Structure 1
Amino acid sequence: MDHDQAAVAELRRIATAAKELATALEAAIRNGLLSVPEIPPVSPSVDLGDEDWIEPCVAAGRAGKSDTTIRRYVYDVRYPGIGKKIGGRWKISSKVLRQVIAGELPLPSKRTNGR
């Protein structure tokens, strides 16, 4: 058996084990042996505290922009409150980023830092 066939066989084994586990969990829930708590959805307007600050590369992925563009938003002070240094590294506010993506904070037509 070559390497590719071995990998496929291992993936099939894992998939079968995952299906068996899912079946067992469903049975446990159905029989009252396991309960699953109801988790309410998080509103975009909820402040998530420290978790609300993300890396610029993550922000870029969410916004469909480049890292450089996100860093310019911070450096050029285009959106007040979008970035701050935490532990010596720049972080981006998820809350402000969501407002930018939703169009609630339109992109300024020029830099606002005086350059």
Structure 2
Amino acid sequence: MQPLPAGGGSIQALAVMKSNDPLYPAIEAIWAGPIGEGMQLELACEVAGVRTYFASFVADPDDEMLSLEINVHGQTVRIPLDQLEEWIAVARTDVHSEAWYDKNVQGTDS
């Protein structure tokens, strides 16, 4: 292992960013009222020492439909909250880890 150069925190941060392990940072919800954009709830967390806003709950200006707004490759994507709630309900019952399947479904043939 190479020694870190003076001020080598950036090398450490890059190692964290390249890890395939998921992060479970504390998520902060912040009310925001940008001028001309109404009120929205922004989600932020700190990763590798950098505070990042990664999603917002917003209301459509035409019909007040609530959505989760995320950025995908520079494009704003809005997922309607009703649809997201349906998917969360399905996920709560039907999504399991590989370890769960190994323990609970191992050896069963369908």
**TM-score, normalization by structure 2:** 0.24
Larger Rg: 1
